[in-house]
Amino acid sequence: MSEDINNNFYLSIKDLINETLVRDLIIFSFLFLLVITQVWEDISLLLYPLITFAFSIFFRIVNTNKWRTEFEERPIIYNPIGLEKKHANRLFFSALFQLILLFWIGAESLYNPHIVDQYFPYFNGLFIFLYTFGFFWIFIDLWKYSKVEIILSRITKENPKTYDSIVSFLKIKNFRLIALINLFVFITLNILNSILIITSNQDPLFRIQLNLPGTGSGGSDPMTTSSLIYFILLISPLFAVISLILTYRDVNNFSKEELDKILEPLPKNIQIIIIEHLKALDKKIKDQLNIE
């Protein structure tokens, strides 16, 4: 019996998959297959859309499976890292656009190898812009949705004084800090990338060569770019993860006294429903409420 109960805490792959997730996987996989059929020997550029899409899939899975931790007619809105659906859509758009650019530059290198070097700086700038903007985009309106909110109208119909109360939210000062840091990272990386695109031929120390699908045909040489692209590959998602962790901690850290003030005018049975729901949301919240 206990073994069956324990198994209920684990989700199978089938449980995690839904129609939206399958749609994203099919569209991304189709475009990715179109790109790799061009035979990319150097996979460095392919990592960018893969990382972006991996983040999108993470948010998609979280969003589509949140109901498993919620009660029917849930009285609590719990968004500790904002709206996962918005994050997933934005990153998915960025990943698809990156794949389209990769397919374009790969085709140019195959069919117009003699002039692809003229296009590559523009591709490089736009490609890095899309990658970094995708991770910055999810923080633009994060403060609107990162919160724990009680929706009393869902659990009581007879009380004419029902109201909605925000138990916790992303503090404005923390949101500004997170948004400004990510904006600074986004602008700085793109400015540095633009500068190094222009000066890469003059500074061999930071210069690397990338082989495109058509490199070598028609006497074409590998494309020259800055080694900063490897730094950008890691720094944008790293700052995104750190920012989301800070947001999660801020939203989950609320005052029990303020919660008591919100619950005080409510009937005892309603208070119990809300407390039980909060207990189920997160262990940190449970510890804060001192519930054994």
pLDDT at position 252 is 86
Q: Which residue numbers in the chain have pLDDT < 50?
A: 1-7, 9, 160-162, 291-292
pLDDT at position 154 is 60
pLDDT at position 1 is 39
pLDDT at position 137 is 96
What is the value of pTM for the model shown?
0.86
pLDDT at position 164 is 57
User: 242 vs 198, 237, 238, CA distance in Å?
Assistant: 31, 9, 6
pLDDT at position 123 is 92
